[in-house]
Structure 1
Amino acid sequence: MYTELSSPTDLTPENPLWVGAWWIGFLGAGAAAFLISFPILGYPQQLPGSQRYVVMRVSEAHQVKDDSHKPGPDFGKTIKDLPKSVLMLLKNPTFIFLCLAGATEATLITGVSTFGPKFLESQFSLSASEAATLFGYLVVPAGGGGTFLGGFIVNKLKLHCSGVIRFCVLCSLLSLISIFIFLISCPNMPMAGVTAPYINSVLWENSLNLSAACNVDCGCVQDHYSPVCGADGIMYYSPCYAGCSGTYTEHDNGKKVYQNCSCIASNMSMDGELAVSGKCSSSCQKMSLVLAFTFTVILFTFLCSIPALTATLRCVSDSQRSFALGIQWILVRTLGGIPGPIAFGSMIDISCLLWQNQSGQKGSCYMYQNSAMSSYMLIAGLVYKLLGLVFFLLALLLYKPPPVSPASSVDKASGGHSVKGSQGETLMSSLSNPS
């Protein structure tokens, strides 16, 4: 649907000037989140029986050498504990590197989600709507399935903190291998004056020159970009730059067919000197391979999201869990989510061949060099995936679990966890005998 529902327009989703109703998705998601909040408000602060599991759980918090920074039972309940709490988190290298790993993963996720449709659109000569829809078919099952499967695996295997981080290392390694799919690229569709010469053109220096003898009298301007596919298999910047007259007929699929195009080579068939609105279809047969490996990259990236969150909760003390999550999300958004699209966009813009001209200023990019675009996507993906892998490895190597007592070892062998100290025994006794 067009962005303004009440405004009629003759544009189609294949037209580069088309703007979809992007705001409807935000309204729907906001309304759904608002409705879901009501049943969530119905939950108590603690679920019935949860105290028993809190007592039985053995702490896996990273051990700090300085005992003066160990939190007490009332730690974190006042604002005075804020500086000390921050200092404790800064002295936890596992937490710090898990935050940095989350930031690099967020950079990759936001960058690829923003420019992934643009990559598919350029490589396979798709319309913006087709590329966005196709990319959505990848992200929803891969992202949602990976998130669910990651939590299921950790719960099924009953992994401890170090085991969870090892699982994140494995997922990062597999997604790093899959990122090499960006080595594949499809050749650019020929566009007259950009990547291919005009027919019967005398001079061609492989540089941008949209004007030719066949359209010099048409008075064309670059402000209106509306690509058409000629019967000769070459794209043109607009019907005007293809030398077409103003008359057209409607095609069966709703696309405009322009006639009497002087820049298109005439042939013996009836389709000579005709141009159809939209880009020419790509003959590249690599789409299935690219989609399969892109699905793999997204799957393994989201597969470690819940395990990484689980490792963060376990490597800090119970009294710091909420505060640690808040600090982590600030770092992830600041270092990853916000600069991700900026970093990817800056790299991809280098491969642009044809810029929008807005009163002498650069606007959007109309056409990319496919091979260069793939190379820059590969470089960006490798950099952030390698950083994420290194951060997960450092979090694993620097993690110091608490010492295992003989009692907990015996209880672990029997399938449970021991309760340490007289406080735990008293609480367990009160739980089993409320009177």
Structure 2
Amino acid sequence: MFLLAITCAFVSKTLSGSYMNSMLTQIERQFNIPTSLVGFINGSFEIGNLLLIIFVSYFGTKLHRPIMIGIGCVIMGLGCFLKSLPHFLMNQYEYESTVSVSGNLSSNSFLCMENGTQILRPTQDPSECTKEVKSLMWVYVLVGNIVRGMGETPILPLGISYIEDFAKSENSPLYIGLIETGAIIGPLIGLLLASFCANVYVDTGSVNTDDLTITPTDTRWVGAWWFGFLICAGVNVLTAIPFFFLPKTLPKEGLENNADIIKNENEDKQREEDKKEKHRITKGKYTYFKYYEIDLLFHIDICHSFISDFLPFMKSLSCNPIYMLFILISVIQFNAFVSMVSFMPKYIEQQYGKSSSDAIFLIGIYNLPPICVGYIIGGLIMKKFKITVKQAAHIGCWLSLFEYLLYFLSFLVTCENSSVVGINTSYEGIPQDLYMGNNIFANCNVDCNCPSKIWDPVCGNNGLSYLSACLAGCETSIGMGINMVFQNCSCIQTSGNSSAVLGLCDKGPDCFLMLQYFLILSAMNSFLYSLAAIPGYMVLLRCMKSEEKSLGVGLHTFCTRVFAGIPAPIYFGALMDSTCLHWGTLKCGESGACRIYDSTTFRYIYLGLPAALRGSSFVPALIILILLRKCHLPGENASSGTELIETKVKGKKNECKDMYQKPTVLNDDELKTKL
């Protein structure tokens, strides 16, 4: 029952996480903020995790672990609800456009007209920027993500340590594999939900979508990002319910019918009853002081435990070279992994010209099932062949290396930049490398009185895109909304009637083929990466002593949060911002979200930086393989079976009898060891 409940918890937490990652682009456009700030919002989840992870990991084992996990799920639900609040507190989303959705479309004030009215130009009035400070509502998303991170804290370390404590050691890899499978089902559901929400307009129900002049493929489109967060909040709260009914401890798997254990449990219960009877004082104020004394002793015990256990455990872990090298590998790999996962929808959208909804859907279909299969096969291999720690280290290392070499094929499946006149292409259709502001205008539109900053692209029938219909020199228009067609465009050089339609031009069938190659390659890499994950995780668990596992898992998670989860999206987002070719414009003239990137430079950053990071991680991995040839790990004999455990239990029974008979003879160290 605990395995089922913790798997559902992993489903709910990864559902929320994958949905948040998929909605980063929508949040960026909704609040008109740069990618680096969006990366900070995404990294705020790790900040919330950071606040509690080590102490929850250590002191959580001394408290009721299932209840703590349940409380964490409720807090995650609260965080998801906070993230949806801005939608209900701010006005309707208004995208920049030369075509007024609410105005009279037949006025043609947005077309090329000599001595035009200029009413659609951005103003320089600071009060307009003050009105648009509604974008500061992103702070709600930031705080909600921090709260969600705090709630997620107990699930991983307490859940894994609970499994490790009460499951057979040879079954542990399979159980963890099943849990990790739940951690893949969650993102699959999250990505499908995100794909649906990204395809629904953010203010659907309150605006007439027939009047919109943008489609989901447009970089100004914002999907209903808030709706999915409400669903995530409900799922997290429902997931918490079973944990409040699970026991604090379980009998060791395989020893449930052992008479010695049952007898020991009965003796423990009897001692607890005797202790309660001893302290059951029923005389007025004395009762209050007696319970106050018990509570005070409990807090003193916590402080003593911190000094006598926590610090020595930390010292022991820091002096464990295999454990420390494994943390170093994880930090480097997570820097690459977090960066790629967070911005993969944006990469597919910019590189291959797909909408956010389609990009998210394709990621879920092509990447998550192979990861799920890889986790299950990895766990089954560990169980079937009783893989030792040293063998697991070799399997994980060489599979990762093979997947890393396969990854470089991604550099070959690329598409060309979208040709936008005035940004990366001249009016004659010749590509230009650098963005030059004075190239926005040409002889064909210099008298049109067009705004130069507003992003409202149109696709000419010559295969080139233009910043707006006005800059394309179009003089007339027919149709309404997204079906509008512009005619008599003086800047569109073609033999026939020069016309244009709303939106960027498609990248063509060759780009679609390259997308298929990229997705297939990504699916193969995902399978190999996940196949190596379970053996690698076993190295982490088995290189520590049993009493250090909970703290060790927590410290490992803590380090990946601090040195990868928080900084990676921020610096990765800042590097992406550096490739922006054209920024969106607010009404007051300030820059908003990026509308189009240099896809070549974007590709080198998105694929090249993770490749460099992951390549450096194989140096400590090889050092671990060398150390394992000479070291004897604490967990190497952990799979010796039930007989060893039974012997230890019988020994413990006798030790406990002696301990209670002569409590004054034992010093602190001996008492701690026997307990």
Q: Structure 1-normalised TM-score?
A: 0.80
Task: Give yes or no for contact 2:476–2:486 (8 Å, CA) kept in 1.
Answer: yes
Which position in structure 2 is the counterpart of 1:63? none
- The reply to whether residue 113 of structure 1 matches residue 312 of structure 2 is no
Which position in structure 2 is the counterpart of 1:189? 418
Task: Give yes or no for contact 1:264–1:274 (8 Å, CA) kept in 2.
Answer: yes
For 1:49-60, list aligned pairs within 5 A: 49-50=252-253, 52=255
Three-state SS of the structure 2 residue aligned to 1:126 is coil
Decide which of 465, 478, 491 is 1:263's aligned counterpart. Answer: 491
* CA gap 1:236/1:330 in 2 versus in 1, 3 angstroms: same
- The reply to whether residue 234 of structure 1 matches residue 464 of structure 2 is yes
Structure with the largest fraction of helix: 2
Compute the displacement of 1:398 (Å).
2.6
- The reply to whether residue 401 of structure 1 matches residue 401 of structure 2 is no
Code of the residue aligned with 1:341 in structure 2: it is: P
Task: Give yes or no for contact 1:168–1:392 (8 Å, CA) kept in 2.
Answer: no
- The reply to whether residue 155 of structure 1 matches residue 383 of structure 2 is yes
Which position in structure 1 is the counterpart of 2:560? 332
- The reply to whether residue 3 of structure 1 matches residue 232 of structure 2 is no
Can you list the C-alpha shifts for 1:401-422, whole angstroms capped at 9, x where unaligned? 24999xx79x96xxx4652896
Code of the residue aligned with 2:342 in structure 1: it is: T
* CA gap 1:420/1:189 in 2 versus in 1, 3 angstroms: closer
Which position in structure 2 is the counterpart of 1:78? 305
- The reply to whether residue 224 of structure 1 matches residue 454 of structure 2 is yes
Three-state SS of the structure 1 residue aligned to 2:581 is strand
* CA gap 1:238/1:287 in 2 versus in 1, 3 angstroms: same
Compute the displacement of 1:112 (Å).
0.9
Cα distance in 2 for residues equivalent to 1:83 and 1:230: 68
* CA gap 1:404/1:143 in 2 versus in 1, 3 angstroms: closer
User: Any gaps of 5 or more consecutive residues in structure 2?
Assistant: 1-199, 259-300, 656-675
* CA gap 1:154/1:276 in 2 versus in 1, 3 angstroms: farther
Three-state SS of the structure 1 residue aligned to 2:617 is helix
Can you list the C-alpha shifts for 1:32-55, whole angstroms capped at 9, x where unaligned? 2221222244333333443749x9
Cα distance in 2 for residues equivalent to 1:51 and 1:417: 7
Decide which of 364, 367, 375 is 2:596's aligned counterpart. Answer: 367
C-alpha RMSD of the superposition: 3.5
Decide which of 219, 224, 230 is 1:16's aligned counterpart. Answer: 219
- The reply to whether residue 243 of structure 1 matches residue 470 of structure 2 is no
Task: Give yes or no for contact 2:335–2:610 (8 Å, CA) kept in 1.
Answer: no
Code of the residue aligned with 1:211 in structure 2: it is: F
- The reply to whether residue 277 of structure 1 matches residue 502 of structure 2 is yes
Three-state SS of the structure 1 residue aligned to 2:593 is strand
Can you list the C-alpha shifts for 1:133-178, whole angstroms capped at 9, x where unaligned? 3233334324444334433332333222222222221232122112
* CA gap 1:163/1:305 in 2 versus in 1, 3 angstroms: same
Code of the residue aligned with 1:354 in structure 2: it is: H
- The reply to whether residue 43 of structure 1 matches residue 246 of structure 2 is yes
Three-state SS of the structure 2 residue aligned to 1:275 is strand
Cα distance in 2 for residues equivalent to 1:30 and 1:142: 28
Compute the displacement of 1:204 (Å).
7.7
Can you list the C-alpha shifts for 1:72-127, whole angstroms capped at 9, x where unaligned? xx999922221111111101111112222222222222211222222222222223
Cα distance in 2 for residues equivalent to 1:224 and 1:21: 24
Three-state SS of the structure 2 residue aligned to 1:419 is helix
Cα distance in 2 for residues equivalent to 1:42 and 1:363: 49
Three-state SS of the structure 1 residue aligned to 2:501 is strand
Compute the displacement of 1:365 (Å).
3.1
Code of the residue aligned with 2:504 in structure 1: it is: K
Cα distance in 2 for residues equivalent to 1:246 and 1:155: 71
Q: Which moved more, 1:79-88 or 1:341-350?
A: 341-350
Which position in structure 2 is the counterpart of 1:320? 548
Task: Give yes or no for contact 1:125–1:280 (8 Å, CA) kept in 2.
Answer: no
Code of the residue aligned with 1:282 in structure 2: it is: K
Cα distance in 2 for residues equivalent to 1:14 and 1:126: 6
Cα distance in 2 for residues equivalent to 1:403 and 1:82: 19
Cα distance in 2 for residues equivalent to 1:108 and 1:77: 40
Code of the residue aligned with 1:384 in structure 2: it is: L
- The reply to whether residue 419 of structure 1 matches residue 644 of structure 2 is yes
* CA gap 1:19/1:264 in 2 versus in 1, 3 angstroms: same
Three-state SS of the structure 1 residue aligned to 2:421 is coil
Which position in structure 1 is the counterpart of 2:237? 34
Three-state SS of the structure 2 residue aligned to 1:286 is helix
* CA gap 1:255/1:100 in 2 versus in 1, 3 angstroms: farther
Three-state SS of the structure 1 residue aligned to 2:346 is helix
Code of the residue aligned with 1:395 in structure 2: it is: I
Code of the residue aligned with 2:506 in structure 1: it is: S
Compute the displacement of 1:366 (Å).
2.6
Three-state SS of the structure 2 residue aligned to 1:196 is coil
Three-state SS of the structure 2 residue aligned to 1:225 is coil
Cα distance in 2 for residues equivalent to 1:404 and 1:47: 21
Cα distance in 2 for residues equivalent to 1:27 and 1:172: 37
User: Any gaps of 5 or more consecutive residues in structure 1?
Assistant: 56-73, 431-435
Cα distance in 2 for residues equivalent to 1:275 and 1:179: 40
Q: Which moved more, 1:110-119 or 1:149-158?
A: 149-158
Task: Give yes or no for contact 1:199–1:264 (8 Å, CA) kept in 2.
Answer: no
Decide which of 386, 389, 392 is 2:621's aligned counterpart. Answer: 392
* CA gap 1:204/1:397 in 2 versus in 1, 3 angstroms: closer
Cα distance in 1 for residues equivalent to 2:634 and 2:353: 59
* CA gap 1:429/1:138 in 2 versus in 1, 3 angstroms: farther
Code of the residue aligned with 1:87 in structure 2: it is: K
Three-state SS of the structure 2 residue aligned to 1:247 is strand
Task: Give yes or no for contact 1:182–1:374 (8 Å, CA) kept in 2.
Answer: no
Can you list the C-alpha shifts for 1:193-212, whole angstroms capped at 9, x where unaligned? 122211499x9896432211
Q: Which moved more, 1:141-150 or 1:122-131?
A: 141-150
Code of the residue aligned with 1:275 in structure 2: it is: A
Compute the displacement of 1:380 (Å).
0.8
Cα distance in 2 for residues equivalent to 1:194 and 1:310: 52
* CA gap 1:127/1:83 in 2 versus in 1, 3 angstroms: same
Compute the displacement of 1:244 (Å).
2.3
* CA gap 1:340/1:79 in 2 versus in 1, 3 angstroms: same
* CA gap 1:295/1:402 in 2 versus in 1, 3 angstroms: closer
Code of the residue aligned with 1:238 in structure 2: it is: S
